A = this chain, B = another copy of it.
């Protein structure tokens, strides 16, 4: 294998595929990045066997030569060293040459690295995914979808299925749901190309977080293929594979109350800052509980008490309070997470009593729903 490549393109591809590489793998070859040079260009692959990322650099792009492949072939190079080396090479072009016994020469200017590589034939194969039943949505929408739901997955492996986000596609509508059984985040969005098919998959939260880091905020389409045990995201010259979680995702539709006894409309930012302040004295405490009480004059009071430290209390003007008086306690962290996901200047919160889950939505957008279970404080 022998090729010359533009350094900035090399950096981008190596950075992308390195996101899938774990230093704590039990399969030694997976600490490396696989590089394959063909007549068409270069393919880089990184994997921790849960997530695999493939980045392709074509020979030419818009008439510019990016890679000059002088000899096809392949090699696996240690991801940690390789990614540091490419970032620090002195010149704008880089030469690669693999000789016998996987000795790999990397030359840029007068700097020469000679790395011990591994045999690319020993690198595991990526899952083969038939490119049927593809649906699409834009990269920026996909990033929003992930951001607005993935924080609510369970951090505990007690019920592994809850560490993933449940994706359901039906009649060109994608519904993403995440819950850790104390709160729930749900977001719907239109997709393209799934008129006749429906899909369901539970995608690990960790995979979605990594995917989100690689996606840019453009409105270019991402193609998505869901199979029995894998999901593939195709974006520009990138392929992102993730295994799916096995098992049945709980039916969450029954959790969401459809009526309410008290409904508040609140300025989102003021409310978020007040919750943040009210939780200051309980930081570090797992149960950083704050109390919300409706008071006279369309106001609410946010308060919190930590006996050894002190108390905090603050009033906020609401846009409106409908229904019964209310006194309810909840996790400040869950509330702040939900408010940050909701977007929009005003938030509607619908309560069905101090002991029942309540739901939050943006005033002008019902595509996002956040649900929180209150905390008993007596």
Contacts and interface: CB of A to CB of B under 8 A. Distances in A.
A114 interface: yes
B116 A309 contact: yes
A283 interface: yes
A124 to B, nearest CB: 22
Given A111-B274, A115-B309, A310-B114, A88 B316 contact: no
A277 B108 CA distance: 11
Interface stretch (A78-86, A206-214, A358-366): A78-86
Contacts of A227: none
A312 B313 CA distance: 62
Interface in A272-286: 273-274, 276-277, 280-281, 283
Contacts of A274: 111
Given A88-B276, A116-B309, A81 B314 contact: no
Contact of A309 (B78, B110, B111, B311): B78
Total copies of the chain: 2
A90 interface: yes
A293 to B, nearest CB: 14
Interface residues of A, number: 32
B81 A280 contact: yes
A97 to B, nearest CB: 13
Contacts of A281: 81, 113
A112 B280 contact: no
Task: With a 10 A CB-CB cut-off, give which of A111, A274, A309, A316 has the most chain B CB atoms.
Answer: A111
A62 to B, nearest CB: 31
Interface string A303-333: 0000011111111100000000000000000
Nearest to A284: B80
A311 B115 CA distance: 6
Given A111-B314, A316-B110, A88 B308 contact: no
A81 B285 CA distance: 13
A112 B314 contact: yes
A115 B85 contact: no
Contact of A310 (B109, B116, B309, B316): B116
Given A314-B112, A315-B110, A309 B81 contact: yes
A89 to B, nearest CB: 8
A312 B114 contact: yes
A165 to B, nearest CB: 31
A116 B308 contact: yes
A113 B311 CA distance: 6
A310 B115 contact: yes
A312 B84 CA distance: 13
A132 to B, nearest CB: 43
Contacts of A273: 88, 90
A287 B281 CA distance: 45
Contacts of A115: 309-310
Contact of A314 (B84, B110, B308, B315): B110
Contacts of A314: 109-112
B316 A113 contact: no
Interface of A: 78, 81, 84-85, 88-90, 104, 109-116, 273-274, 276-277, 280-281, 283, 308-316
Given A88-B280, A111-B277, A111-B314, 4 more contacts: A81-B310, A85-B280, A88-B276, A110-B314
